[in-house]
Amino acid sequence: MNFFTRKRSATSAKERLQLVLVHDRTDLTAGQLESLKDDLLKAISQYIEIDPEAVRIELERDGRSQRLVADIPLKTPSRHRAG
Amino acid sequence: MTAQVITVTSGKGGVGKTTAVANLATSLAMDGKKVVCIDGDIGLRNLDVVMGLENRIVYDIVDVIEGRCKLKQAMIRDKHFTDMYLIPAAQTRDKNAVSPSDMVRLCNDLRADTDFVIIDSPAGIERGFRNAIAAADSVLVVTNPEVSAVRDADRVVGILEAEEKGNPSLIINRLNPTLVKNNDMLSAEDVLDLLGIRLIGIVPEDENVIIGSNRGAPVVTDGKSRAGQAFRNIAKRLQGEDVPFMDLAPQSGLWNTIQRLAGRK
Ligand SMILES: Nc1ncnc2c1ncn2[C@@H]1O[C@H](COP(=O)(O)OP(=O)(O)O)[C@@H](O)[C@H]1O
Ligand SMILES: [Mg+2]
């Protein structure tokens, strides 16, 4: 590892702990969170067209509570206009 | 008098629970309070040596609970502070000899005639921890600015919330200001942000803590020690005083220059 590009260790400690604590508190593994996201996207796609690449679904900490935050940009329904 | 029962716990072992109990109790006694410490670490008795009382033990907490002695007989009086007592842990007995309701009963018997009861919890989240928090009016969670200690503290805080032991306060122990300055140790702000609970004190890493436990004289009795000062401040906060937090910045360049000029470096 290069000395100049290496992240100082306290920064890694904090980032790693942020993730670990969210999973510990919600009792949700990273794998389970992934399948939750997939299921959520599938459900939404039945009604509206979305770009799976642009979707952001994350567990966030807010003090001692957790929230599931989703940012799901919708696709412009261009083919309807063209038709 | 009606005592405040305070439990000191942490999840992870070795973070400074026993050190905190001995120092907070001594500091409260120095402020003229009547204090009873209870060593809740059955099988791993330690508070007695840290307080320098190991030679005075006759009865222990299990003797009281099983009716082999009166409560007063198991209360060992401190060598220097006549209003400070220790109820030692049993060293040989099965830790299931004590139950949460035993602890509640014991503390209720102490309440009328005491200002503070301070309980030293064992590490972990098992029976001994459950016993230690059963009677608590308030809980102090001790952690170090280090990943595994913070993670375990968070687990303990979660259990306290679930048990409605609500709103524990945090002691961040063994903070090294130089490492924090170099961004090689989590800062107090980082730890607070991660755990999301109220802070009651930050205790710096200080070799005088070890010197104090070698002698069986808690570091709060050393007027010059920074850790001692930090523990004395926490004891004041437990008594409801609003004491500002210490400046734990590493000794400044100016300080170093003065030391150099004085030929100490
Ligand atoms: N602020 C501090 N500075 C230096 N050493 C410390 C400090 N706090 C605790 N220690 C040392 O850390 C070790 C573990 O402390 P202890 O109180 O026995 O932890 P616990 O009861 O949580 O297992 C002891 O050797 C103690 O002297
Ligand atoms: Mg201990």
* Contact criterion met (CB < 8 Å) for B155 and A61: no
pLDDT of residue A51: 87
* Cα of B197 to nearest chain A Cα, Å: 8
Smallest-distance ligand from the CA of B149: 1
CATH class of B4-261: alpha beta
User: Residue A83: is its pLDDT beyond 50?
Assistant: no
pLDDT of residue B96: 86
Residue list, ligand 1 pocket, CB within 6 Å: B 10, 13-19, 173-174, 203, 205-206, 209-210, 213, 227
* Contact criterion met (CB < 8 Å) for A17 and B150: yes
Structure tokens at B208: 């005088």
Kindly report the number of other CB atoms within 10 A of residue B3's CB atom.
21
Beta bridge partners of B204: B175
pTM score, whole prediction: 0.90
Mean pLDDT of A32-50: 92
Mean pLDDT of B86-98: 89
Nearest CB among A8, A20, A63 relative to B151 is that of A20
Atom 23 in ligand 1: residue holding the nearest Cα: B14
Q: Are B130 and B4 spatial neighbours (Cβ–Cβ below 8 Å)?
A: no
- Distance of alpha carbon B27 from alpha carbon B31, whole angstroms: 6
Q: With contacts defined as CB-CB under 8 Å, which chain B residues touch A61?
A: 196
Show the DSSP H helices in chain B as ranges: 17-30, 47-50, 61-65, 71-74, 100-111, 127-134, 147-162, 177-181, 188-195, 207-215, 226-238, 253-261
* Contact criterion met (CB < 8 Å) for B183 and A20: no
| In chain A, domain spans | 29-76
Q: Which of A3-7, A20-24, B50-54, B202-206 has the lowest mean pLDDT?
A: A3-7
Q: Which of B209, B222, B226 to mutate to test the pocket of ligand 1 (most atoms within 8 A of CB)?
A: B209
* Cα of A5 to nearest chain B Cα, Å: 14
